[in-house]
Amino acid sequence: MRLHNLLLGGEKWPVFSVPLAGGRWLHVVYRAFAEDEGVDYLLHDPGWWESAELLAADEGHFTGPGLSWAELVAVADNGLPGGSTHDPHARLLLLLPAFGDDAVPAGAEERLAAALRARTRVGEPERLAAALLEEQGPCGPVHWTAAPRGYRTNDGEYSFRNPAGAYARDAARLKRIARALAP
């Protein structure tokens, strides 16, 4: 409970950032509104966008997922300097709650287990990695497809990247998200 209070209590909100290509950023914000605490996963291009794009939110009513496995790994491994950490294991674990994908490739379990071994004290990282990849957070796995307009969408009921969903972003915003996440 103390860690929860440190991250979500008070007036200063912890923000962890991962640099993306083209000067863009993926920010993880531990939001500390009274009675509305949560974690937001935001994409931002400070040179071009008026405001950040919300990819996912982990709170009382989860919205997402916002990242496919391929996008998660590309962001974790991009090797760009800056941000909160350069470590690919830390980046993978930081962004994992925003991930959901029903087509997790062979090797994903070992990759996640390696990150857990490197950055946690979990007794059986392989077992935890298998469980995390099977369950994939509040929304579970979603199916990703390439839209004809050059961006990826999914079928998650609560995803901003599902053009048929209640939280759908328009095509221009989905394209903008895809460009920001491209390696």
Residue-wise pLDDT tens digits, 71-121:
999 999 999 999 999 999 999 999 999 999 999 999 999 999 999 999 999
Give the single-character DSSP code of 38: E
**pTM to 2 decimals?**
0.91
C-alpha span between 131 and 128 (Å, rounded): 5
Sign of the C-alpha dihedral computed for residues 72, 76, 78 and 82 taken in this order: positive
- Quote the distance between the C-alpha of residue 38 and its chain's center: 14
pLDDT at 137: 81
Q: Looking at 59-179, which runs of residues are DSSP E strands?
A: 144-146, 152-154
pLDDT at 10: 58
pLDDT at 25: 97
Q: Which residue has the tokens 């350069």?
A: 86
**CA-closest candidate to residue 25, choices 2, 45, 9, 53:** 45
Tokens of 150: 């050059």
C-alpha span between 34 and 93 (Å, rounded): 26
Sign of the C-alpha dihedral computed for residues 20, 25, 30 and 35 taken in this order: negative
Residue-wise pLDDT tens digits, 138-152:
888 999 999 888 899
Measured between alpha carbons, how far is residue 60 from residues 35, 106, 159 in Å? 10, 32, 15
Task: Report strand pairing: 36-44 vs 25-33.
Answer: antiparallel
Q: How far apart are the first and last CA of the chain?
A: 37
Residue-wise pLDDT tens digits, 24-75:
999 999 988 777 789 999 999 999 899 999 999 998 788 999 999 999 999 9
C-alpha span between 67 and 95 (Å, rounded): 9
Tokens of 55: 């990819």
Tokens of 79: 């090797």
Domain residue spans of the chain: 2-181
